[in-house]
Structure 1
């Protein structure tokens, strides 16, 4: 294992997301891997076997991608041209770059190693070892290698140099796969990027909203639709107005933090404090669990240590908020707290300094009273595939 790569924890059970197309032999092979992983004590996710009838497909896939430790990619001619598979790979690679997981394990299913992939897939996979499956005889060999990695919590050695693919033979039965190194942007775009598409009138309305007392912006869109790029521009605008600013990306928060409200809110206050140049140790010194609840402590800390002495507004951006949604109890309390802060900002001079932007990819299924939810106040911005 490469010492420079992040390492997962060795444990008896790993979460494995299986990405595949529902065509043969992909579907049968995915099922074999799924069943053998279950038999070995691991927790595989396979859409056809794991998503219940009537369940929100997109939301569940997003949730599982964020929770998984390993991403098992069955790469065939069909999946190589699938937008859904490309989106899953894109998300998995982004999570790996940020969190060191999931480990991506590509398996070429009847797809030669010298067969070129499209530019996007090649850019994501070119430094990752790929295995080749040609027949049923390869299944136990590959499965053994996968189980060995999972048992140790390791990732394969990365490839140091890209191997240029050989030209592919054209086939009328296969969609064309561009292999030129196009300059395609991905992820959050730089503020000066020429690829960024400004969506009007919504972007200007966001700037107007953030300048108002009790300003609250709600940005919702599918993956890779520019949510984080828009948030970065709103923050830049706030900075240009002389505001203090802080943004949190919940992808960077350890999963266990979301399971306990006190732990979550203390970490939340500590992170905001550190970003504003305040010692995060003051959170522990201020917090009184004997006399007050977690929300009361968080509320009072924010008022006394974060907002009280500010002479300018504070812009607070919360990205990937949907990472919190599966943890219903904690999500309900935190979302209610955000709503209460917004209501106080309308009548209280101290809280009027706070301007909020919350960003998420999926709907919130947290059951809340309409008067305590932040999802029915402020400016709602929904990005779609059309500018």
Structure 2
């Protein structure tokens, strides 16, 4: 994968895109000033690479002077009798036409319940799989040119990119989820693996962030290993492959809730985040569900802080995991914690040895868990 220099990580040195859409001349000048200061584009001004929703204004539910609805109002908007999904992709975004087909509204079904959309068999399979929140733990067997070590290098590098761009935590977890789900369905050659990574982060940013790094930012962070057209084409391929399904439960979602149940302080929160980010790099951790990873990370962090086993009944109740159910995953996390500063993949360790993250990586791991029965 292409290398990058420290200065290339800084958004302040990157030139903003000049592709402004719509608005008056004064609005454009004002927007350019804001972009020069922040070097990011607001979501409302991003060139819509994924999809464009067109809305036709129409008047509905208008009353006449007598207070009753007029039939003429409905006749002005015949297209509104069709139910459209906001997730339906723009036709220009389709690659091979093999995407979800959302049919028109057809009134009521056999049981009298309106049928607003009908999903294809592929979408139903996708929904069923997402309900389990799991990526196949052995999907790498279907890849012919990449392996789990290459995945680990990519994720470790993306964690550094995420840190330099100062993105939200949710963005990182969604990025890794998109990468795994895409690689599960699509064979990728090794020279395109970094392209998959930065494209997944670009998509995750558009979904989670208020202000988003530009395509040019991600190109520069790869030391210009790819062109803009390659990023946009990969974006199209990923979105169609994933059926536009971006709303998935990640370990971060569960961890926020479980930390409240554990009545956590800032120290426990940072250590839990450090441990679970170490797991993002490890391919073998895909066999654990997101909720189990979150619960085990908090349990391991508590054991590290207090150096004895601690799992309250409250945590047991809200996580639905007993201490015995967490031990296997927790012991693996202790191993990752113990060797975090060694080897070549030290992105997470260096991130959590900073003041911003409370020097969480320097805390003593709960090695006693490895000796317990």
**Same topology, TM > 0.5:** no
Q: Scaled by the length of structure 2, what TM-score is found?
A: 0.23
Q: Scaled by the length of structure 1, what TM-score is found?
A: 0.23
Of Structure 1 and Structure 2, the greater helix share is in 2
